[in-house]
Copies of this chain bind each other. A is one copy, B any other.
Amino acid sequence: MTGMDTITYRPARDELAYTFGGRMPVAHVRSGDVLRVFTEDCFGGLVRGPADLPSRVCRMPYLNPVSGPFFVEDAEPGDTLAIHLAAIEPARDWGVSSTFPHFGALTSTSHTATLQPPLEERVWVYDIDRQTGTVRFHATGSDHSVDLPLDPMIGTIGVAPGGFEARSTIVPDSHGGNLDSPELRAGATLYLGVNVHGAMLALGDGHARQGEGEACGVGVEIATTTTLIIEVIKGVPTVWPRLETDTSIMSVGCARPLEDAYRIAHRDLVGWVSDLTGLEQLDAYQLVSQAGRAPIGNVCDPNYTVLAAVDKLLLPQPQAAYGGMHARLRQHAGVPR
């Protein structure tokens, strides 16, 4: 973690990317570098008021833009990329949400296909107050409003997939992508397996907050300035995305149906717990069954996301994950432990 640089990147509109994979890098970063990235919102900033219906102002496939990809030096297939989310700052004093025709959990969709007409498309504009740490919801059909806690997160972050694939930024999968989990807030470290030379990290789709499952298909969408610290862990593979905070470790599963996302995440966490503690697999399965949490990420994207989480305090004598990487990155980010 020597020779750390701070790389600042703000994409021009035509530099925004709509896939993971299949794109040339916009910048190079090294282990230990701090990356400050401006990310646009999922609508490319084009939805600013009730009249800006997404299906009218946005054009497929120009949705959910990400900033990047960043070529990470020395990252090779078989390595793990550790990405510490040091800060996620809303870039504007408003956020926006909407319904979108045939998208979301409580509507029929392109895949859960029915003959019914879509729900009405509608836009909600939220006020963001960083002083008070609130996001203000305004009803559209009445004059109700209420303040929700500001809890900024990055909805979409990932690396290039393997197998020569390029995947839409709408999709979450083993390469990361549109995970849409509230756990991707500042203070967390994300571990992603590297699939291609240079990893090709990209991110976007900030949310001022979202409910678990992102039921309507859209969070409180914001542009952000996001600060990351990057580190390559050589020779250690990671199959599905993993997260670590000061208190928890979490495995991420992405699939349909939703129980498969649960299964992927929990099988991974059982293996991880077994590795960190020396517990036999069945013992780790038992412990996770009683001590685990299973926060739902999204139930609207092409793959749904479920996390399997366990508090470190509930593990017997665990080793530090990835050799203590999270604590080091935390310190590097200036957070005393």
Residues of A within 8 A of B (CB): 18-19, 21-22, 60-61, 97, 99, 104-108, 110-120, 122, 124, 135, 137, 139-142, 144-146, 148, 162-168, 209-220, 253, 255-260, 262-264, 266-268, 270, 277-283, 285-296, 299, 304, 306, 314-317
> In the bound complex, do residue B213 and residue A290 qualify as a contact, i.e. CB atoms below 8 Å apart?
no
Inter-chain CA distance A113–B110, complex, in Å, is: 15
Which listed residue (B99, B165, B259, B260) contacts A304, Cβ 8 A?
B259
Which listed residue (B140, B253, B270, B296) contacts A262, Cβ 8 A?
B296
Contacts A112-B263, A262-B299 known; A283 to B22 CB distance under 8 Å? no
Residue of B nearest to A23 (CB): B164
Inter-chain CA distance A317–B143, complex, in Å, is: 11
Residue of B nearest to A214 (CB): B289
> In the bound complex, do residue B145 and residue A316 qualify as a contact, i.e. CB atoms below 8 Å apart?
yes
> In the bound complex, do residue A106 and residue B111 qualify as a contact, i.e. CB atoms below 8 Å apart?
no
Report chain B residues within 8 Å CB of A299. Answer: 259, 262-263, 294
Inter-chain CA distance A26–B254, complex, in Å, is: 35
Report chain B residues within 8 Å CB of A260. Answer: 111-113, 256
> In the bound complex, do residue A212 and residue B294 qualify as a contact, i.e. CB atoms below 8 Å apart?
yes
Which 7 residue pairs across A and B have the least CB separation, nearest first?
A: A141-B280, A61-B163, A257-B257, A211-B292, A258-B258, A212-B294, A216-B289
Report chain B residues within 8 Å CB of A253. Answer: 113
> In the bound complex, do residue A113 and residue B304 qualify as a contact, i.e. CB atoms below 8 Å apart?
no
Inter-chain CA distance A314–B135, complex, in Å, is: 11
Report chain B residues within 8 Å CB of A287. Answer: 137, 139, 146
**A327 CB, min distance to chain B CBs, angstroms:** 21
Contacts A289-B97, A290-B97 known; A270 to B164 CB distance under 8 Å? no
> In the bound complex, do residue B140 and residue A280 qualify as a contact, i.e. CB atoms below 8 Å apart?
yes
Q: Show 10 residue pairs from A and B whose CB-CB distance is below 8 angstroms, ordered by the A residue.
A: A19-B163, A21-B166, A22-B165, A104-B289, A115-B119, A115-B281, A146-B314, A211-B291, A215-B288, A215-B292
16 more CB-based (< 8 A) A-B contacts, given A107-B108, A108-B108, A148-B314: A105-B266, A108-B114, A108-B116, A112-B263, A113-B268, A137-B291, A139-B280, A139-B283, A140-B280, A142-B283, A144-B278, A148-B290, A211-B291, A212-B293, A257-B258, A296-B306
Report chain B residues within 8 Å CB of A105. Answer: 259, 262-263, 266
